[in-house]
Structure 1
Amino acid sequence: MAKTEAKKGRSLEGKSLSYKEYRKELCQLHVELVKLQEWVVQTGSKVCIVFEGRDGAGKGGTIKAITERVSPRVFRVIALPAPTEREKSQMYVQRYLPHLPAAGEVVIFDRSWYNRAGVERVMGFCSDEDAVKFLAAVPLVEQAIVASGVMLLKYWLEVNEEEQTRRLEARIHDRRKVWKLTDMDLKSYSRWYDYSRARDAMFRASDTAIAPWSVANSNDKRRARLNIITDLLHKIPYEPMPRKNVTLPKRQKPDGYEDPDYPFKYIAEKF
């Protein structure tokens, strides 16, 4: 495992983390994520990262921070819509299985099969009996996933009531974020303790030795992102892979080529 300063992580507790400091730390972690990407590709490793948490916990921002500087062909983000009528008739986890990583891939689930233990249970999209059956079966499913050679990491982002309220209210007033606030968010907002009970039941059933849950304090988004990336880099046994020395080749000679007299339709340069 690469023993870099970024991978070891720095103690930021008790300090105000400015945007400049955050970007500096994140830049170093991005370098390590690129090394991880090269290792995954060259070794044919398979990595699956699951993100769960309440609405507004910061799952999307964390995933964006992870994938900002890596290839979308290697780091695939899966955020499935509501199931179709056909999918509703299938075994519950069936629609998630085709998205699991093949060799040389990192798959990130922005919400996952744990929807059944969370939003579906709380909002009445499945019965309590369905949720209990799911929680009884999910450790066996994850055991099979891990046995197939997939490194499975599961993160729960924990946000408190006050911070969740602040973030959801920001979605109301910030036109860049209005798309994030759905009717389901509004309905589920009032059911804080139902979600707490569902979370607790999920942990009791699925926090196993083979696929444990890691909980991140996400009240501070910047710190949470840095902490999560640092943690996953520690948990994946990647190594820096050899790289060829690269130099740009000489360009060909024009060999009679001349720029065309063509009326290119340039966009307006307002900036």
Structure 2
Amino acid sequence: MSTPPNSNVDPADLMQRMQADLIDSYDEELEMEIDDRGFDEDAIRSRFTPEQRLQRRAYFQELFRLQGELVKLQDWVVASKHKAVIIFEGRDAAGKGGVIKRITQRLNPRVCRVAALPAPNDRERTQWYFQRYISHLPAGGEIVLFDRSWYNRAGVERVMGFCSDDEYEEFFRSVPEFEKMLVRAGIQVIKYWFSISDEEQHTRFLGRIHDPLKQWKLSPMDLESRRRWEDYTKAKEVMMERTHIAEAPWWVVQADDKKKARLNCMAHLLAQMPYHEIPHPPVILPSRERHEDYERQPVPPEMVVPELY
């Protein structure tokens, strides 16, 4: 490790600062963990037995390991110009967003990006159904994660009556051919369904209702979907039966346990691509140029953000 030239920085102090920065990055996972459970960190520790704390530590260790492998996958995708579409579907509160966060957390958003399209506008409703998804498809060296996808037509649109019977049937005639076309064009299509039980969704909905920081996640449509649980089940079964094709099969993630679902999905995703570690030349931090006539200008006090913390 080198220190900046003309600097009085103590190497031991620099190492401590680097370690502190690393710990700060790990705190992101702790923040997510606290958010999942709705308790502060001290409360979490007090609720766990020693065995549970060990399990929690094992979860984070495996999460970090898998995220390290995802970085290697990202490098391989860029080097090989691979193209991948990963679809995440499932009931409301099934944990799709949580696993997407963990997958993308340490990746370059220019390589791995998320597409979460809103409801179609008036113009889009007159287009070919798949048209608004086309612009989000990957180029070479890119991965696109669809947080819900064209399968909205087989789910919410069918259950809530937002499409006609003819449009519904046309979707099932078209989607296998559409996905086969993507695969022929060199785009790998991976489809995940996050499966949770009736009781678990009920519990997660109650958690969102009573948490002011999560109430925004519950829309009137979400609440209505809860009432129509059985209709969604039937729609999901038809969807899988009619769109589970060899070129783009469905994979079901058991998601009642959020942590296991995340790890299982991430491990499975890594196994779907023949990636390998890409060698990189060593990174050498260049010395900063210094000029005797350089003088840094002071920042006007009125421009400085107040230091409240």
TM-score, normalised to structure 1, is 0.91
- Superposition deviation, residue 246 in structure 1: 0.7
Give the aligned residue type for 2:155.
Answer: G
In structure 2, the residue matched to 1:164 is: 201
| Unaligned runs of at least 5 residues, structure 1 | 1-14
Alpha-carbon RMSD = 1.4
Which residue does 2:132 correspond to in 1?
95
Aligned length: 257
Q: Which among 131, 144, 150 is matched to residue 113 of structure 1?
A: 150
Q: Which residue of 2 aligns with 1:269?
A: 307
Whole-Å separation in 1 of the counterparts to 2:158 and 2:244 = 18
Instruction: Name the aligned partner's letter for residue 212 of structure 1.
Output: P
User: What SS does the aligned partner of 1:200 have?
Assistant: helix
TM-superposed CA distance for 1:136, in Å, is: 2.1
Alignment match, 2:173: 136
| Structure index of larger Rg | 2
Q: In structure 1, what is the Cα distance between the partners aligned to 2:218 and 2:274?
A: 38
Percent of matched pairs sharing the same residue: 51
Misfit runs of 4+, over 6 Å: none
> Is residue 277 of structure 2 the alignment partner of residue 240 of structure 1?
yes
Post-superposition offset of 1:132: 2.1
Write the letter of the residue equivalent to 1:55. D
Tell me, yes or no, if structure 1 residue 76 matches structure 2 residue 113.
Answer: yes
Distance 1:139 1:234 in 2: 23
- 160-169 vs 112-121, greater mean Cα deviation: 160-169
Whole-Å separation in 1 of the counterparts to 2:299 and 2:173: 67
Q: Which amino acid aligns with 1:87?
A: E
| 1:176 pairs with 2:213 | yes
Q: Which has the higher contact order (CA 8 A, sep 6+)?
A: 1
Q: Does 1:57 align with 2:89?
A: no
Q: In 1, Cα distance between the equivalents of 2:298 and 2:261?
A: 54
Residues 1:145 and 2:182 are matched in the alignment: yes
Q: Which amino acid aligns with 1:98?
A: S
CA distance in 2, matches of 1:256, 1:94: 58
Partner of 2:39: none
Q: What are the ranges of 5 or more consecutive residues in structure 2 without an aligned counterpart?
A: 1-50
- 2:185 counterpart letter in structure 1: S
Q: Please identify which structure carries the higher helix content.
A: 2
What is the one-letter code of the residue matched to 1:269? E
Partner Cα separation in structure 2 for residue 191 and residue 71 of structure 1: 39
Partners of 2:231 and 2:55 in 1: how far apart? 35
Query: What letter matches 2:239 in structure 1?
Result: M
Aligned equivalents of 1:113, 1:61: Cα separation in 2: 20
Q: Does 1:221 align with 2:258?
A: yes
What amino acid is aligned across from residue 198 of structure 1 in structure 2? Answer: A
Name the structure 1 match of 2:5.
none
TM-score (norm 2): 0.80
SS of residue in 2 equivalent to 1:91: coil
Measure, in 1, the Cα distance between the counterparts of 2:73 and 2:188. 13
Give the AA of the match of 1:157.
F
